[in-house]
Chain A
């Protein structure tokens, strides 16, 4: 099945009702996307599908056809949010971090604290108490704003 993964056209074989989460981790070898609760409560498995944040544990693989999927690996390790999370202590055990960063990508460029709280309401963290995460995002907002990578959308039309 064809879709765009982190900016590249890919063709992956997996069961249509497989969870997108499992296909990303097991078929595509991208283990940055974490499984937390497996029921859409915790947001650890958040990826962007056509720019929308989704819990990949609740997405049948068949629905990813022809969409653009962005995972934490698509940010390359050097995205401003990744650096800010590291600097501000926004990551401790690290399980929620990829989902937090993917969800934060969809915040308004100059998000207020209230918008950050609402935008991350679907992501649970049991380590930081959230303040360090909010601080990290605030830093990116102050340093020029949040931007959505081009790979979050289909780059060259549907993959062929």
Chain B
């Protein structure tokens, strides 16, 4: 490990109230839970934070419940817990599909949905699902809670509207009416970060919802492509609009050209497989 342990401090609050109080510290501590991202950076000596708050001891933060028809997934629910949850399997199977393709069993046992959201990577595998499902991010501070539509949560590459003293405490998903679809394209089925990741909801009498990752600084919805398909345009016409809605780049995992081609192919797959 390339980070000096002696300079690091860790709080392990047992309740959300005490966690939110600690978040008012100066500087605010970095929230950790599954550590599947934080410990990679810590190990390679690239993390600047030295104060941490462990959320894994707060039992209420990992609950998965349905309340007033809204599915609420606690921020520290792991991918394994999401895959096992009857509520998620019934209501949001595309999230189960996404969780299955994250890492391998070891990462699924530890990584959390709140971490995926708060990290705001454009390649986050659960994020297109949350965007397509019109999910809300529940943010809490000692002053109270607020809800932000997932599509407004991330403002740029790894940037979010979370204030320094706020915690992501839950993700809320309304009833998803329609056929859910998810597809990740990476170098191999497990342990790969996506080259492209797409989620969609096909509705019988309304425009579909479509969201895509790894083609822009954040995960994005595709409003013009959705509207085209909703108004009866051909897949080929929708593919031309999709090409204008995404801005993929060349990076270590793929090329812009490949991503354009695959995004177009996935759109066709979505439309034919949900027909």
**Chain A residues with a Cβ under 8 A of chain B:** 15-19, 22, 38-41, 43, 46, 52-55, 57-60, 62-63, 103, 106, 118-124
B-side contacts of A57, CB under 8 Å: 39, 43
B-side contacts of A54, CB under 8 Å: 106, 109-110
- Which 10 pairs show the lowest CB-CB distances between chains A and B? A122-B104, A121-B190, A15-B5, A121-B104, A52-B109, A58-B39, A17-B8, A16-B10, A39-B40, A122-B106
Say what secondary structure dominates the interface of chain B: mixed
Count of residues in B whose CB is under 8 Å from the partner chain: 29
Cβ contact within 8 Å between A19 and B109:
no
**Min distance, Cβ B9 to any Cβ of chain A, angstroms:** 8
Query: In the complex, A52→B189 CA distance in Å?
Result: 21
* Chain B residues numbered 32-48 whose CB sits less than 8 Å from any CB in chain A: 32, 34-36, 39-40, 42-44
Cβ contact within 8 Å between B189 and A121:
yes
Return the chain A residue nearest B32 by Cβ: A60
Query: In the complex, A22→B5 CA distance in Å?
Result: 12
Q: Cβ of B52 < 8 Å from any Cβ of A?
A: yes
Known: A43-B106, A54-B110, A103-B106; 12 extra A-B contacts, CB below 8 A, are: A15-B5, A16-B8, A17-B8, A40-B103, A46-B106, A53-B105, A53-B106, A55-B107, A58-B39, A59-B35, A121-B189, A122-B105
A-side contacts of B32, CB under 8 Å: 60
Cβ contact within 8 Å between A17 and B42:
yes
**Min distance, Cβ B102 to any Cβ of chain A, angstroms:** 10
Known: A62-B12, A122-B104. A17 touches B5 (CB 8 A): yes
Q: Cβ of B99 < 8 Å from any Cβ of A?
A: no
Q: Cβ of B151 < 8 Å from any Cβ of A?
A: no
B-side contacts of A53, CB under 8 Å: 105-106, 109
B-side contacts of A118, CB under 8 Å: 105, 190
Residue from B12, B44, B107 within 8 A of A38 (CB atoms): B44
Kindly supply a per-residue 1/0 record for chain B positions 1-40, scoring 1 wherever the CB is within 8 Å of any chain A CB and 0 otherwise: 1000110101010000000000000000000101110011
**Min distance, Cβ A112 to any Cβ of chain B, angstroms:** 16
